């Protein structure tokens, strides 16, 4: 196997369990998160008569595709799922991050969940099935440094769930104008975007980031999914007219996916300096100059019905995506990732019980 040529760039940091530093009150925070999620889940399921995800409740599209792992990867990139060149079926779920189903005029960060099927190797604790999930959003950083800080924000959010829909819509359009103005002077704010000021652009053209780090076999990495086919890059930054319908994004994607040939590169950013690319703080962006992204696989999804009843039932209703569903070789790292294990399980258990619909790995 060849070595990666990264002139002037330090060698990747070797994975070891002591790269993580556990806090004494993590269990207490996890319980607090589940209490706050219960407030959201009980309110939304009561209102809709149906349980939805406690975050990223609204899906805009569900795609089926194929991930092709590259065959020419050097040793440091041929790790875990990416050790062997292979084609894997994948499901993709595109979402917006609120825990309630809001009109698309409320513009919040977007999510992209990926389920890679038929993956062999030692599994993470409690990980069912043979799949590897990757969960991403369309920005490189998380707004909270720790799960405890996230809990503080979540408690506030839980109080406004499913209330003041009109106010949220108006606030969002005001914040979008504020954000556009900030962007014009080069200082777009993730905080404002997380409150509804994100530009209402087509999710098919966006680049998605894991935000938090993961074990990458012998090393440590963050992940990114970047649109590369011309059909997708033509949609990058293209605004959707959300005044025509509450579900304008879903309808636009459904119309476009009749003909769009979608291809993304799945990229890996190896940690090369534990101080400059920290494990425990996802508010810090890992600089691309110091830790470049490298493509390890391609995901393709051909023209299809992105909102077919069958896919909605199978993916939106009967599946859970969690960073803890996967290989030990891709163990989620850091305080935020540790807190996600119980939270994702709790939210999907609630959906399973309320909807009397078993959730399972395909």
| Site residues for ligand HEM per CB under 6 A | 33, 37, 53-56, 93, 95, 111, 113, 135-137, 142, 147, 150, 210-212, 282, 320-321, 336, 339-340, 343-344, 347-348, 351
Tell me the closest approach of the beta carbon of residue 8 to ligand HEM, in angstroms.
Answer: 30
Q: How far apart are CA 121 and CA 193, in angstroms?
A: 38
In the block, residue with structure tokens 């990229």: 267
List the beta bridge partners of residue 88: 67
Question: What does the chain come to in residues?
Answer: 362
Q: How far apart are CA 134 and CA 112, in angstroms?
A: 8
Select from 37, 102, 134 the least CA-distant residue to 348: 37
Tell me the closest approach of the beta carbon of residue 128 to ligand HEM, in angstroms.
Answer: 13
List the beta bridge partners of residue 57: none
Tell me the closest approach of the beta carbon of residue 184 to ligand HEM, in angstroms.
Answer: 27
Strand, helix or coil for residue 357: coil
Tell me the closest approach of the beta carbon of residue 74 to ligand HEM, in angstroms.
Answer: 27
Tokens of 358: 């078993």
Judged by CB, which is closer to ligand HEM: 54, or 79? 54
Tokens of 136: 């991403």
Name the residue with the smallest CB distance to ligand HEM: 111
Task: State the DSSP code for 103.
Answer: -
Q: How far apart are CA 243 and CA 95, in angstroms?
A: 19
Judged by CB, which is closer to ligand HEM: 331, or 351? 351
Judged by CB, which is closer to ligand HEM: 81, or 339? 339
Q: How far apart are CA 194 and CA 152, in angstroms?
A: 15
Tell me the closest approach of the beta carbon of residue 136 to ligand HEM, in angstroms.
Answer: 5
Tell me the closest approach of the beta carbon of residue 348 to ligand HEM, in angstroms.
Answer: 4
Tell me the closest approach of the beta carbon of residue 187 to ligand HEM, in angstroms.
Answer: 22
CB-count exposure of residue 177 (10 Å: 0-12, 13-18, 19+): exposed
Judged by CB, which is closer to ligand HEM: 69, or 147? 147
Judged by CB, which is closer to ligand HEM: 210, or 269? 210
Element (H, E) at 248: helix 248-256
Judged by CB, which is closer to ligand HEM: 205, or 218? 205
**CA dihedral in degrees (269, 237, 197, 99; nearest 10)?**
-70
Judged by CB, which is closer to ligand HEM: 311, or 351? 351
């Amino acid at each position: 196997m060849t070595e990666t040529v990264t002139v002037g760039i330090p060698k990747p940091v070797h994975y070891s369990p002591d790269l993580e530093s556990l806090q004494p009150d993590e269990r207490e925070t996890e319980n607090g998160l589940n209490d706050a999620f219960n407030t959201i889940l009980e309110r939304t399921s009561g209102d809709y008569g149906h349980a939805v995800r406690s975050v990223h409740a609204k899906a805009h599209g569900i795609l089926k595709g194929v991930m092709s792992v590259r065959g020419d990867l050097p040793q440091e990139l041929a790790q875990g799922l990416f050790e062997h060149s292979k084609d894997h079926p994948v499901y993709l779920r595109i979402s917006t991050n609120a825990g309630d189903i809001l009109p698309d005029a409320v513009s919040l960060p977007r999510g992209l969940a990926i389920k890679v099927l038929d993956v062999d190797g030692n599994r993470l604790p409690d990980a069912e099935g043979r799949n590897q999930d990757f969960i991403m959003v369309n920005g490189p950083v998380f707004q909270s440094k720790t799960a405890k800080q996230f809990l503080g924000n979540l408690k506030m959010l839980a109080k406004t769930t499913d209330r003041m829909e009109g106010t949220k819509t108006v606030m969002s359009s005001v914040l979008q104008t504020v954000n556009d103005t900030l962007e014009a002077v080069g200082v777009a704010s993730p905080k404002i975007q997380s409150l509804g000021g994100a530009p209402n652009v087509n999710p098919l053209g966006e680049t998605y980031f894991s935000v938090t780090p993961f074990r990458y076999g012998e090393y440590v990495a963050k992940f990114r999914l970047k649109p590369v086919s011309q059909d997708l890059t033509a949609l990058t930054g293209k605004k959707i007219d959300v005044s025509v319908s509450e579900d304008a994004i879903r309808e636009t994607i459904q119309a476009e996916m009749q003909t769009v040939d979608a291809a993304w590169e799945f990229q890996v950013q190896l940690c090369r300096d534990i101080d400059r690319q920290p494990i425990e703080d996802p508010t810090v962006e890992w600089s691309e100059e110091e830790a470049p992204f490298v493509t390890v696989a391609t995901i393709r999804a051909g023209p299809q019905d992105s909102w077919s009843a069958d896919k909605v039932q199978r993916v939106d209703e009967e599946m859970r995506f969690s960073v803890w569903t996967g290989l030990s070789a891709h163990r989620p790292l850091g305080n935020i990732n540790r807190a996600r294990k119980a939270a994702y399980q709790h939210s999907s258990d609630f959906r399973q019980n309320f909807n009397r619909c078993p959730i399972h790995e395909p």
